[in-house]
Amino acid sequence: MFARMSDIDRMFDAMGLLRGRFDNIFNEFDRTVGYGPTWSVIGNYPRTNLYDKGEQFELFAEVPGLSKDDLDVKIQGNYLEISGTREVKTPEGYRAHRSERGSASFTRSLTLPSDVDPDKVTATLNDGILVLTLPKSEAAKPRQISIN
Amino acid sequence: MDGKDLTKKEQGAVESTRNLRQVTPLVDIYENDDEILLHAEMPGVKKDDITVNIDNGNLTLSGVRSIVHDGAADWEEFGDVEYQRVFSVPQTIDIKKVNAELKGGILALHLPKSEAAKPKQIKIKAG
């Protein structure tokens, strides 16, 4: 029995919380599960986003803690490969209490929807996000057709 | 039961109405004689979007990532999130001297220990 109003309040709170969870169930795709060193478990590292901007593609990759010397990008036609090594060292004179961020080397290859011009590719690294601008090759670019 | 109980709302489950999903950032925690050093992984978060609060012995890290992009997405494996994590900090931390820096998506938080908490070598005098 609900003897007090506060019990009823609490029940509705719990129901609201459950509803919130269901609302979010489909966009929980990049939640880090648990507290352990998940680095090794994630198969597709680094995670990437690809956007098609008509003339060019833009690829975002999540590479926290990596400097530009740690990263290597290879392109051939519509094949793109990002590889790198991350080293996490305990700073000099410190002892570690918790280390969740592991050292690892990785390679990820991606197939782009169309060929890109490897000479015009530019890459920037900002706040742990690698941004590659990949202009499409002439044949793959959208073209305006004039009607006679 | 007195009248107060009828209207008092007990602390229960509170739903966050913000739509941004919360993600736990991975952290490394180190310690030496002078300070505790915390590294938190927050790729894509800008310096101004990070807040660090210390309140009542709780350290709350929060960083909001909003990635600016345009064009049609061919695939999207990560999105806008809020990195959030709470730690309890020992009393021995000198809160006024806490400082933080952000480099390459890694937040480094320095938590200096207060003078009283640092280990001291006691000299023994010959009697």
Which residues in chain B have Cβ-Cβ distances shorter than 8 Å to A90? 30
pLDDT of A28: 52
Q: Output the domain CATH number for residue B26.
A: 2.60.40.790
For residue B59, give its domain range.
Answer: 19-67+78-115
B50 assigned to some structural domain:
yes
Q: How far is B55 from chain A (nearest CA, A)?
A: 22
Contact A98 B28 (CB under 8 A): yes
Peptide linkage before A46 cis (omega within 30 of 0)? yes
Q: Establish whether this prediction's ipTM goes over 0.85.
A: no
- How far CA A35 is from CA of A98, B82, B93, B125, in Å, comes to 11, 16, 24, 49
Please indicate whether, in this complex, the C-beta atoms of B74 and A51 are within 8 angstroms of each other.
yes
Number of folded domains that form chain B: 1
Residue among B42, B44, B72 minimizing CB distance to A52: B72
Mean pLDDT of chain B: 84
The residue type found at A110 is: L
| Category of B57 on φ-ψ map: left (φ > 0), alpha (ψ -120 to 50) or beta | left
Give the domain A38-90+100-138 fold.
Answer: Immunoglobulin-like (2.60.40)
A106-147: pLDDT as tens digits:
899 999 999 999 899 999 999 999 999 999 988 888 888 888
Task: Rounding to the nearest 10 degrees, give the CA dihedral for residues A86, A90, A96, A102.
Answer: 10
B96 part of a folded domain? yes
Q: Is residue B4 part of a domain?
A: no
In a domain, B126, yes or no: no
What's the rounded mean pLDDT across residues B9-19?
A: 59
Structural domain contains residue B36:
yes
Closest-CA distance, A148 to chain B, in angstroms, reads: 31
Q: Which two tokens stand for residue A64?
A: 């926290």
Q: Does A124 touch chain B (CB under 8 A)?
A: no
* Domain ranges across chain A: 38-90+100-138
Which residues of chain B have a CB within 8 Å of the CB of A127? 43-46, 102, 104-105
Distance from CA of A40 to the nearest CA of B (A): 13
Task: Judge whether A51 is closer than 8 Å to chain B, CB to CB.
Answer: yes
Q: pLDDT, tens digit, for every residue of A29-87? A: 554 443 334 444 455 788 899 999 988 999 999 999 999 899 999 999 889 999 999 88
Cβ distance B67 to A35 less than 8 Å, yes or no, reads no
3-state DSSP call for residue B101? strand
